[in-house]
Chain A
Amino acid sequence: MELPRGPCLLAFCASQPRLEEAFRAELRGLGAPLLALWPSGGILLGADDEPIHVPPQPELWRLHGAGSAALTAVLLDDRHRVRLRREAPEAEATLLAAVREAGRAVRSAPRGVGRRELLVNSLAVALGIAVLQACASSRPRLATGVASAGPGVIDVNLIVNGEKRTLSVEPRVVLLDALRENLGLTGAKKGCDMGQCGACTVLVEGQRVNSCLKLVAQLEGASVTTIEGLARGAELHPMQQAFLDEDALQCGYCTPGQILSAVALLQEGKPADDDEIRERMSGNLCRCGAYPNILAAIKSVAGMGH
């Protein structure tokens, strides 16, 4: 079959989706056609026209490698090049969310912007987000299916920066992700995510650890200090102040980990010399190479002079 001219959204669905009137209204508002296909047939929803039923399109399924997920969505630009291809565990709500969000973005855009490009961009962003959300909300279902003998989400109590917090997380969630995603504490950074760079360093029970390798499930009752908990009100921790004074950073991504590691280092014992500081800070990598000033900051707090 011939695809409609201009940008177009293809939706390969494992079974015939119910695209209700609400969905069609969103689609009309957006002004982009959708070709929804399922194994035994399909439907073309134009911007203005009545729906057109189409026969099965096996060559399109093959061309876009569709069929393994509940939804494979493919966004074609005005020259029918693939702009985005995403798979989701659910079709109807995902498509509705994508079309609704794209419509909102298109309507709120200033006039004068190239309409077709705006449409494609908005749809790409909205589709990406909708698919992510669909994947995220389908996880608990997987949990009960796979780990039948055990709990899906469990509750864990932590004391984070002096405050009691209860987290509801799957056992596979590591402290770094829980801090960032569940508690909104984004100071601990995800660098390598495999215990090698130290950007995720936090203090657990006063000891520095790589939060990317700590399962939250293990930490019931533990107290955690992140970079957000270091200052006393408006007064920075001396190590934070020293990092500013000594200009001990460039991009700043490794800095929260560097500071917490340095705080712990001095708590563990005063270093004898520069080399000992370097060795004991070896678990914190700085891709910008701000090491000389990091060293200077630590020395100034340790009272080691320059």
Chain B
Amino acid sequence: MRLFTFQRAAEVSEAIAAAPGAAFLAGGTNLVDLMKIEVLNPERVLDISRLQLREIAVRDGGLQIGALASNTAVAEHEEVRRRAPALSEALLSGASPQLRNSATVGGNLMQRTRCAYYRDLATRCNKRQPGTGCDAIGGWTRMHAILGTSESCIAAHPSDMCVALYALDAAVRVRGPSGERELPVSDLHLLPGDHPEMEFALGPSDLIVSVRVPLNDLAARSRYVKVRDRQSYAFALASCAAAVQAPGGVVRLARFALGGVGTKPWRVPQAESWMQGRPASRETFTRAAEMALQGARPHRDNAFKVELAKRTAVRALMLSAGAQA
């Protein structure tokens, strides 16, 4: 790890004032890892782990989760388990208990890709070193994205939690020098395009302070399904957070987001609205999943993900709808 200056913020305003040029450090499970392998080399590290941003509360019909709440705290929270089960399931399907104890919601939103080329200084990577090229394209691509890719980058988004937050229509509260604002979580992550190094719709002084998850009947029915190379403690080959309301067997409202297949969590609103008014059946869900996978561009080692993602989506939609899987 390279040398850096260490600073600690006691107040949110202090953190924002000191932010430009520094890396925010919370749980450290992602940042310290990437600093050890010298993929990220901040000259200043700003410890925000002592800020008062840990609260998890139900407020105004929504779940408000402080950015520093740990993955464990959120996953085990009674209201989360009961009223937004996909979020709890997604968190518990990710990493290990040790990592979940340290990892935070804010850090998870900012989690960097696990692309093996991004993490390997011996290779070319447009995300790590803009303009150098991409050795993943034409390389070993089993873990890479098939949706939202570009000529510059095919790195998959690694987070489970974010997939659930996308399906739950969560919003992210950000504080910057000019005050606080809220953006849909799906606007936080940028597609790689020609600039895969630009990953977040955040300014240099912006700090994520909380996440808001609307609580409703749909959220209470949400489920998360994850498929991976081993039964536990692995990143997703494909995953899906789904929520279906289907009184009398007819879809009234449905949402789903895919993980492990996109350069960001993948949601296709047309596929969701197409299900409305149709029977909550395997046929309906299969067609919706096919619509969501339209435009998938697999590479040499990940063509299987097209079918796997469809089946994962169907499984999650069936689970949420309470239909026979």
Q: What's the least CB distance linking B9 to chain A, in Å?
A: 12
**Could you say which of A25-33, A190-198, A244-252 contacts chain B?**
A190-198
From B7, B25, B95, B98, A261 is in contact (CB under 8 Å) with B98
CA distance A152 to B101 in the complex (A): 29
Interface 0/1 of B93-108, CB less than 8 Å to A: 0011111011000000
Known: A147-B43, A151-B6, A283-B233. A214 touches B98 (CB 8 A): no
Q: Say if the beta carbon of A209 comes within 8 Å of chain B.
A: yes
Tell me which residues across on chain A come within 8 A of B37, comparing CB atoms: 194
Q: How far is the CA of A143 from the CA of B4 in the complex (A)?
A: 8
Chain A residue, CB-CB nearest to B232: A282
Q: List 9 A-B pairs, Cβ < 8 Å.
A: A151-B6, A172-B35, A201-B98, A215-B6, A215-B45, A217-B47, A218-B28, A265-B97, A282-B97
Does any Cβ of B come within 8 Å of A109's Cβ?
no
Do A213 and B44 touch (CB < 8 A)? Answer: no
B194 within 8 A of A: no
Instruction: Name B1's closest neighbour in chain A (CB-CB).
Output: A172
Q: Considering the chains assembled together, what is the distance between the CA atoms of A268 and B72 in angstroms?
A: 11
The contact of A150 among B4, B25, B36, by CB within 8 Å, is B4
**Total number of B residues with any Cβ neighbor in A under 8 Å:** 31
Query: Which secondary structure dominates chain B's binding surface?
Result: mixed
Query: A residues near B, CB below 8 A?
Result: 142-143, 146-147, 149-152, 154, 170-172, 174, 193-195, 198, 201, 207-210, 213-215, 217-218, 261, 264-265, 268, 278-280, 282-284
Contacts of B28 in A (CB 8 A): 213-215, 218
Q: Contact residues of B with A, CB < 8 Å?
A: 1-7, 25, 28-29, 32-33, 35-37, 43-45, 47, 49, 72, 95-99, 101-102, 231-233
User: What is the bound-complex CA distance between A284 and B33, given in angstroms?
Assistant: 17
Q: Tell which of A172, A264, A280 has the most Cβ of chain B within 10 Å.
A: A172
Task: From known contacts A214-B32, A215-B28, infer whether A283 and B5 are also in contact, taking CB-CB under 8 Å.
Answer: no
Which 4 residue pairs of A and B lie closest in terms of their CB atoms, listed nearest first? Answer: A283-B96, A150-B5, A171-B6, A282-B232
